[in-house]
Structure 1
């Protein structure tokens, strides 16, 4: 309720005119997602192995030389074997592979539809609530390192995820975002800035903010399946279609999906967080 009062106070300050020009085009926000992950792998074989690396990533390899503090840097490996790019792993050698991935995406913001032909009807068309514009996809140790080799093992991964969202134009925008990527076996920490609320609280807020009472449903039967990461409906109250995040095996996450409510008159908002996973959870 306190967050809702804060929103109302903001609106009482910024709403200084009762005239709004006709909307000619849908508003949108641009996003840049950067993954910077360190993946530790080891060759347990008594002979060298050539590990093929995905050329889609910017890759840096740190060879540990049996020393956890002093590393030999091999930048952007260009080795090839049978035309495949990658690196050699010596017997029992452990290396850290740093991958950087940058993805961009534009999200459209829904608009309130007004009918009528200006004949005096349909003076007001509705109110604007903050739509959730994105839904997360899932990564895990298995998806990050799906190497079908009995000798090459992943020991852990960790790094930082940065999500920058920028309104396409300078017009005021009011929307919500969540984590762009979740990790089904990793520990997420150090979210900055702190989330406004959880996804469940966001759903409650939509009802409260719109002035409607949420319907109380009967007991929900919980299905024994690992396909649903979070119990999201395919359509939010705002009419925005979202996809249900899925994972390919059992999740160990113990946090609620966070949501950030954003009101912007220009500029960008940057959301960052860390992730960590290791064999045995150590």
Structure 2
């Protein structure tokens, strides 16, 4: 078992970081919200996504085109000294944005975006930054004890733990409950070229994109306080899957694939023997009526053709990367993606 753990388990212990603007007294519930108002699940984990994409666009029409941008993304049009841009930031859990006067001058019908001149090609950065991250809806950890035997609230003063509340089990016949295993707490989002850049028309084309995705995981009560008592073990799957792009340079390298997680790791970690399903075999029926031959009734021979080959591809999701994480304060997972029009 120790050997298996050394192979499969990535320990990502967050670096102890000091928190600015810490109040003298803090109260945390599990689940709850961070000091910025961002939600975390019942084991204290806040999940965030940052995206940075450089996209090359071209207008093949003999007249200008206006491209509307989803203002959830920052954008920078790399021309005219990067004067056309929108930058988002979060204050008290609410998203706000700074847009340059140059971008406002080029808005259309009160829509935010940018113009492409006839036959113009330009590189545009679309970004979700760390100060305006996309917050993941992480699933709660489904513990084996049905919510009992669990810490539910913590009180700190000047970053030092003062007291906590525990849901206790009054059944004397259950001295222990069960073990804990790293459950996957997120679901992947699937993006494609068509979903990210819909309805651009035949004149505005995407030539290529290059980018980076970062997933930030924060153990909220630990991260914002001096006392670092709490650890959370869980698993995450690749948060954003680019269906038509190439993904590479995972940092840190993933622990296993989703298929390996389901078929091998969970059973081994829990210490149970995986059940083996018996294959049902169809009975062989002997028939003396006739046999198929390459000869027609008239006696004319026909040429036998090979049966068509059917490619049985595994569902791509089974090959998705999975990370097993033992988290202290904060950890980041990142990977790169690229796509070309061909």
Place the TM-score, normalised by the shorter chain, in its bin. 0.7 to 0.9
- The whole-number CA distance in structure 1 between the counterparts of 2:109 and 2:253 is 48
Structure number with greater Rg is 2
Partner of 1:137: 189
Aligned with 1:73 (options 82, 93, 113): 82
Pairwise CA RMSD: 3.1
Cα contact 1:28–1:106 (8 A) shared by 2? no
- CA shift, 1:10, in A, is 11
Q: 1:181 to 1:218 in 2, by over 3 A?
A: farther
Cα contact 2:10–2:255 (8 A) shared by 1? no
1:112 matched to 2:144? The reply is yes
- The whole-number CA distance in structure 2 between the counterparts of 1:93 and 1:124 is 68
Aligned with 1:84 (options 108, 111, 135): 111
Q: 1:92 to 1:138 in 2, by over 3 A?
A: same
Partner of 2:47: 31
Q: 1:30 to 1:119 in 2, by over 3 A?
A: closer
- The whole-number CA distance in structure 2 between the counterparts of 1:10 and 1:145 is 36
- CA shift, 1:147, in A, is 2.3
Partner of 1:259: 322
What SS is found at the alignment partner of 1:216? coil
Cα contact 2:9–2:325 (8 A) shared by 1? no
Structure 1: which 5+ runs fail to align? 12-23, 64-70, 232-255
Residue correspondence of structure 1 range 1-282 to structure 2 within 5 A: 4-6=4-6, 25=30, 26-63=42-79, 72-76=81-85, 77-78=103-104, 79-101=106-128, 102-105=133-136, 107=138, 108-113=140-145, 118-170=170-222, 171-203=230-262, 204-217=264-277, 229-230=316-317, 256-264=319-327, 266-280=328-342
Query: Residue deviations 1:175-228, cap 9 Å, x none?
Result: 111211010000001100111111122121110111212223467xxx9999x6
Q: 1:83 to 1:9 in 2, by over 3 A?
A: closer
- CA shift, 1:48, in A, is 1.3
Q: 1:53 to 1:224 in 2, by over 3 A?
A: farther
- The whole-number CA distance in structure 1 between the counterparts of 2:9 and 2:182 is 16
TM-score, normalised with respect to structure 1: 0.73
- The whole-number CA distance in structure 2 between the counterparts of 1:194 and 1:146 is 32
- CA shift, 1:105, in A, is 2.9
Partner of 2:292: none
- The whole-number CA distance in structure 2 between the counterparts of 1:197 and 1:142 is 29
- CA shift, 1:72, in A, is 4.8
Number of aligned residue pairs: give it: 232
Q: 1:190 to 1:9 in 2, by over 3 A?
A: closer
- CA shift, 1:267, in A, is 1.5
- The whole-number CA distance in structure 1 between the counterparts of 2:116 and 2:267 is 56
Cα contact 1:31–1:164 (8 A) shared by 2? yes
